[in-house]
Amino acid sequence: MSTRDLLQFAQEAIKNKGYPHKEVYIDRVAEEAKDRLNKKFGIDVDDIVTDTGSVWHAYKKSAHNLEKDDIIHAVEVINTSTDIEPSGEHQNNPTFIFKKDIDGEISFLVEARIKNKKLLVANFWRKKKKRRHPDASS
């Protein structure tokens, strides 16, 4: 899926509050990432996907500190992050948090749908940036 198409999908998901439910293919999992996930967690996946409900859920929360285009970082973070933590399960599927610094720390909660060999981007957020003290010198 192109960046433009992914951003348009995200805008529509936000506008329609996650309805109708639609899952979209974003990209392939890079070979290095596949190897890393298989060696570290024993999972075998091929594709990165997301859905309208997940995108709407992430963007509706102001505490997530997201920019309009943060969804486009999902592929890069999943394919290049070495900061990966298991995060329990959702509907009997293992979940993981992938983190990376892209103009500040961004995290993606990903559900591994083992049967379908997919990673579903289920949620994402940014770490809140520290504010400068008003008396700080420039």
What Cα–Cα distance (Å) separates residue 48 from each residue in 25, 38, 122, 123, 131?
6, 15, 11, 13, 34
Q: Which domain holds residue 78?
A: 3-126
The whole-model pTM stands at 0.90
Position 114 in a domain: yes
| Domains: count for the chain | 1
Position 134 in a domain: no
Q: pLDDT truncated to tens, each residue of the chain (138 aa)?
A: 999 999 999 999 999 999 999 999 999 999 999 999 999 999 999 999 999 999 999 999 999 999 999 999 999 999 999 999 999 999 899 999 999 999 999 999 999 999 999 999 999 999 986 555 556 554
Q: Tell me: the pLDDT tens digits for 83-120?
A: 999 999 998 999 999 999 999 999 999 999 999 999 99
Position 131 in a domain: no
* Residue 132, pLDDT score: 54
| Cβ proximity of 112 and 87 under 8 Å | no
Position 132 in a domain: no
Position 33 in a domain: yes
